[in-house]
Amino acid sequence: MQVVETLQEKSDETNIQNNLEELQTPYVGMLFETLEEARNYYENYGRQEGFWIRIRSSSRTRYGTNEVTSRQFVCAHQGKYVPENKKHDIVEESDKIEMNQKSKKKMGKKCSTIKCGCESSMWIVRDKWKVSVFKDTHNHKIVSPARRMKMKSNKYMPKAAKKLTETFQKENLQIGKVCSISVGQTLDLTVEIVITTCGMFDTNN
């Protein structure tokens, strides 16, 4: 059984490599038209090479528009884990959202972390968003091509699915019970929601 799974994984890895449009390794002086284009490129490069990224820091204009003038993207393994009860005023930009979401949790709670001090990064500055610093050395295992679809950077919800999920939540319908609608169970929902959901699971269409 294990041999079969290994052979299947190697086959999947070969197929992914054949279908992947190889991206050029970023380099100092590389230009991007927009900040979003730079992020997307590095994110896609990470998918290609087997790692995912996050924003480490940004610089902005001090007066007026408060526009971003430079930004550093790093491998998600960059940095060292610091317990919540030992953090002070210096907080990474990408960590601020996580801290706000966890503000109600007890301080000092132990949790797993992927941070291991990896120094791979890309720093861009606003000159058509030019790469000013690029490091491509990782100190951890890279995700194999066959498993890259499971990386965090590939986990996203399409707009249609997100809208449908919000509708289920609004109607107090658990996602796990959606299939029960297709087999005729009566739930306290509006006719419109029931018809829409049944249509999704109708195998005769």
Is the model's pLDDT at 58 over the cut of 60? yes
Sheet holding 53-60, edge to edge: 53-60, 68-75, 121-125, 130-135
Domain shared by 137 and 163, yes or no: no
Mark whether 119 and 22 lie in a shared domain. yes
Q: What is the mean pLDDT of residues 163-187?
A: 63
The predicted-structure confidence for 117-129, as pLDDT tens digits, reads as follows: 898 999 999 878 8
Instruction: Say if residue 40 is in the same domain as residue 10.
Output: yes
Q: What pLDDT shows up at residue 204?
A: 47
Q: What is the pLDDT of residues 17-51, one digit of tens each?
A: 555 579 999 999 999 999 999 999 999 999 999 99
SS3 for 67?
coil
Tally of domains within the chain = 2
**Do 150 and 163 sit in the same domain of this protein?**
no
Asked if the structure places residue 87 within a domain, the reply is no
On whether the CB atoms of residues 88 and 32 are closer than 8 A, the answer is no
| pTM greater than the 0.85 cutoff | no
Q: Considering the domain boundaries, does residue 48 fall inside one?
A: yes
Its domain, for residue 176, covers 159-201
8 — alpha (psi -120 to 50), left (phi > 0) or beta? alpha
Residue 165: closest CA among 196, 188, 186? 196
